[in-house]
């Protein structure tokens, strides 16, 4: 998606889900902000940096930029039916938003992996 991410994550008992989310947001925001800053040819570079900096000044947890929202929307998926519903929702979100006409055509989705092809990202299939 162009402005948000959907994930199904689980933990092995060693880390809490909020710790996993914190670390994922920290790592990805650092990498993405670095890529934006380093890309001098990006036409929206200054606009994006100003936007992320303006949001960062509103949050005392930040040193400068805010890339991710502070909250997330976790949904407990503790049954096979709920997992199937969430997976279907994730796969069909780009179709609903008219980014693609078929879930398997969205390059950043695991729909290809569930459809018998290899997708762009490494995926651990739900069984």
pLDDT at residue 122 in the model:
87
Identify the burial level of 36 via C-beta atoms within 10 angstroms of its C-beta, where 0-12 means exposed, 13-18 middle and 19 or more buried: middle
pLDDT at residue 72 in the model:
85
Cα–Cα distance for residue pair 67/48, rounded to 1 Å: 10
Cα–Cα distance for residue pair 93/108, rounded to 1 Å: 12
Q: 111, 103 in Cβ contact below 8 A?
A: yes
Low-confidence residues of the chain, pLDDT below 70? 1
pTM for this entry: 0.78
Residues 76-89 pLDDT 10s: 899 999 999 999 99
The closest of 123, 97, 91 to 109, measured between CA atoms, is 91
Q: How many residues are there in the chain?
A: 127
């Amino acid at each position: 998606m162009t402005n948000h991410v959907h994930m199904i994550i689980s933990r092995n008992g060693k880390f809490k889900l909020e710790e996993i989310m914190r670390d994922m947001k920290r790592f990805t925001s650092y990498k993405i902000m670095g890529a934006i800053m380093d890309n001098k040819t990006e036409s929206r570079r200054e606009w994006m940096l100003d936007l992320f900096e303006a949001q960062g000044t509103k949050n005392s947890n930040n040193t400068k930029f805010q890339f991710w929202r502070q909250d997330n929307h976790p949904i407990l998926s503790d049954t096979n039916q709920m997992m199937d519903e969430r997976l279907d929702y994730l796969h069909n979100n780009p179709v609903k938003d008219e980014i693609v006409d078929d879930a398997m055509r969205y390059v950043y989705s695991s729909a290809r992996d569930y459809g018998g092809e290899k997708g762009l990202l490494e995926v651990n299939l739900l069984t």
